[in-house]
Structure 1
Amino acid sequence: MEKITTYTARDTWTILGLEMGIGIRKISSGLGHSSVEITEKNYSQMIQNKILDEINEMITKA
């Protein structure tokens, strides 16, 4: 059984927010980060994957 930490909860909250289409600025503010750049740095791979998924969906529907 995996131990659930506050970091797990924050990551889950962030992932769900991004998947729901909530803007990175709102998520960054909700996380209490002093700048969007911090959020982007911590979640850059996730953000890049979301962007690629959106682009691929647009292309495949065209």
Structure 2
Amino acid sequence: FDKIRTNKTLQTLKEEKGALQEDNKVLSEENEALRRNISGENVGFERVQKVQPGGLIQARQDGLI
């Protein structure tokens, strides 16, 4: 049982690692988009203000960034 439990735990950790790596990739892309937005390359400051910490993915889906 311990070996089965260990293998399941290892698989879960690998899946979580993959998900975290994907999140990190998305956040890096969003950081770059915000950097461009703040520098005035893409949109006005009023649109950037709507993006709250922790809400970057939703803001991206809403078309704010």
* TM-score, length-scaled by structure 2: 0.31
Bigger RCO (CA 8 Å, 6+ sep): 2
Asked which structure has the greater CA Rg, the reply is 2
* TM-score, length-scaled by structure 1: 0.32
